[in-house]
């Protein structure tokens, strides 16, 4: 895989903020963004009021809507000011509607469907190259606003509370690959997560593939529903897979008072819940977020089933 210099990534960010007004304005707005801190089932959750994200949280991602819009990740449809760095099959671009103080989108160069299994190796490689960033993936029915154009995103580390929380949490090992990678399970504040800790890309990929094959999948789905967060830390690659069972919570489509436009994706499940409407930002409670997590994340029974499948397939497990 091609080289990627950290300097080039930082230079792109600086150049875009200097020369592209939309990006400059939106990153300046982000620095003044309103936030609330809540404790949800013992986990720290930040609620961020970010009206610019309405385009993403309210994105129509059904097949007909997708077919009738121009893909905003295809190069001919991108703003003229948006520059890029090429890396293998991908282009790294600055996200002009940020959640993170530095936020990149990493689309493939060709218009191809959002799928993880053949690209997880790229994701890990990218996380190892983009030190200081967390690379994340939203499944086609798990928050991706362009499910028809494969892409990752990257945001600065230390921003999503899940990272610090994981450092202080004891994980239950489910499987391992010699000494090079472990697959662990943990429930963080109502979010069941699988965590792959690896010192080797091949070993990490192998455990990801085993997990992928054990996740629940409904008929008609292109892949098991999931959000994935991947970052390099202390010579290790840490991948957090958050399996999903629902795209959007009931409150998203509710009528009247109970409607809240919360559409959870990687960042929300990483502990930064994005409210793009002021009314949602002001009234959402820890109980509401707990309810959303339990609705969109997998259940204890799902976890038992996944672990059982991993066992039955004969993967080396330790419990
Ligand atoms: Zn496209």
Distance CA 303, CA 183 (A): 13
What is the whole-number distance in angstroms between the Cα of residue 12 and the centre of ligand 1? 22
What is the whole-number distance in angstroms between the Cα of residue 145 and the centre of ligand 1? 11
What is the whole-number distance in angstroms between the Cα of residue 163 and the centre of ligand 1? 31
Return the CATH number of the domain spanning residue range 35-70+113-312. 3.30.428.70
Q: What are the residues whose beta carbons fall under 8 Å from the beta carbon of 157, sequence distance 6 or more?
A: 132, 133, 134, 163, 231, 233
Q: In the prediction, which pLDDT does 312 show? A: 79
Spans of all domains in the chain: 35-70+113-312
Strand 43-49 to 272-275 pairing? parallel
Closest CA to 106 of 97, 93, 115: 93
Q: In the prediction, which pLDDT does 319 show? A: 41
What is the whole-number distance in angstroms between the Cα of residue 70 and the centre of ligand 1? 8
What is the whole-number distance in angstroms between the Cα of residue 149 and the centre of ligand 1? 5
Closest CA to 4 of 130, 132, 135: 130
What is the whole-number distance in angstroms between the Cα of residue 93 and the centre of ligand 1? 14
Cβ count within 10 A of residue 36: 14
Quote the crossing angle between the two packed helices 21-30 and 6-19, to the nearest 10°: 100
Cβ count within 10 A of residue 132: 14
Q: In the prediction, which pLDDT does 259 show? A: 94
Distance CA 135, CA 270 (A): 12
Q: In the prediction, which pLDDT does 238 show? A: 98
Assess contact for 214 and 208: CB atoms under 8 A: no
Alpha-carbon distance values, 204 to 122, 154, 196, 216, 237 (Å): 12, 19, 7, 20, 8
Distance CA 132, CA 159 (A): 11
pLDDT in tens, the chain (319 residues): 678 999 999 999 999 999 999 999 999 999 999 999 999 999 999 999 999 888 777 777 787 888 888 999 999 999 999 999 999 999 999 999 999 999 999 999 999 999 999 999 999 999 999 999 999 999 999 998 899 999 999 999 999 999 999 999 999 999 999 889 999 999 999 999 999 999 999 999 999 999 999 999 999 899 999 999 999 998 899 999 999 999 999 999 999 888 999 999 999 999 999 999 999 999 999 999 999 999 999 999 999 999 999 987 766 544 4
What is the whole-number distance in angstroms between the Cα of residue 108 and the centre of ligand 1? 8
**Burial letters for 185-197: b for 16+ Cβ neighbours within 10 Å, e otherwise?**
bbebbbbbbbbbb
What is the whole-number distance in angstroms between the Cα of residue 99 and the centre of ligand 1? 22
Q: What are the residues whose beta carbons fall under 8 Å from the beta carbon of 301, sequence distance 6 or more?
A: none
What is the whole-number distance in angstroms between the Cα of residue 144 and the centre of ligand 1? 13
Q: In the prediction, which pLDDT does 89 show? A: 96
What is the whole-number distance in angstroms between the Cα of residue 40 and the centre of ligand 1? 37
Distance CA 106, CA 90 (A): 6
What is the whole-number distance in angstroms between the Cα of residue 73 and the centre of ligand 1? 5
First-last CA distance in the chain: 36
* Number of DSSP helices (H) and strands (E) in the chain, helices first: 12, 13
Closest CA to 298 of 229, 183, 218: 218
Distance CA 285, CA 40 (A): 9
Assess contact for 279 and 35: CB atoms under 8 A: no
What is the whole-number distance in angstroms between the Cα of residue 172 and the centre of ligand 1? 39
What's the whole-model pTM score? 0.95
Distance CA 192, CA 293 (A): 9
């Amino acid at each position: 895989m091609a080289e990627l210099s950290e300097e080039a990534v930082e230079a792109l960010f600086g150049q875009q903020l200097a020369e592209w007004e939309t990006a400059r304005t939106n990153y300046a707005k982000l620095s003044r963004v309103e936030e609330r801190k809540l404790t949800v089932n013992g986990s720290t959750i930040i609620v961020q009021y970010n009206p610019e994200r309405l385009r993403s949280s309210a994105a129509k991602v059904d097949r007909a809507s997708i077919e009738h819009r121009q893909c905003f990740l295809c190069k001919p449809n991108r703003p003229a000011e948006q520059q890029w760095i090429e890396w293998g099959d991908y282009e790294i671009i600055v996200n002009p509607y940020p959640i993170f103080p530095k936020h990149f989108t990493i689309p493939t160069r060709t218009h191809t469907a959002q799928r993880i299994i053949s690209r997880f190796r790229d994701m890990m490689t990218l996380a190892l190259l983009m030190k200081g960033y967390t690379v994340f993936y939203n499944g086609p029915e798990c928050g991706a606003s362009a499910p028809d154009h494969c892409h990752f995103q990257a945001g600065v580390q230390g921003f999503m509370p899940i990272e610090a929380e994981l450092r202080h949490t004891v994980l239950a090992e489910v499987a391992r690959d010699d000494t090079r990678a472990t697959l662990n399970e943990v429930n963080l504040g109502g979010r069941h997560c699988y965590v792959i800790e690896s010192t080797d890309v091949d070993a990490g990929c192998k455990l990801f593939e085993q997990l992928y094959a054990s996740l629940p999948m409904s008929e008609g789905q292109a892949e098991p529903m999931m959000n994935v967060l991947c970052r390099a830390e202390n010579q290790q690659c840490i991948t957090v897979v958050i399996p999903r069972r629902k795209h959007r919570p009931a409150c998203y489509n509710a009528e009247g008072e109970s409607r809240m436009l919360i559409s959870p994706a990687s960042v929300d499940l990483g502990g930064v819940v994005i409210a793009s409407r002021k009314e949602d930002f002001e009234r959402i409670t820890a109980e509401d977020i707990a309810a959303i997590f339990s609705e969109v994340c997998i259940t204890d029974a799902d976890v038992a089933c996944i672990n059982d499948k991993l066992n039955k397939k004969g993967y080396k497990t330790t419990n």
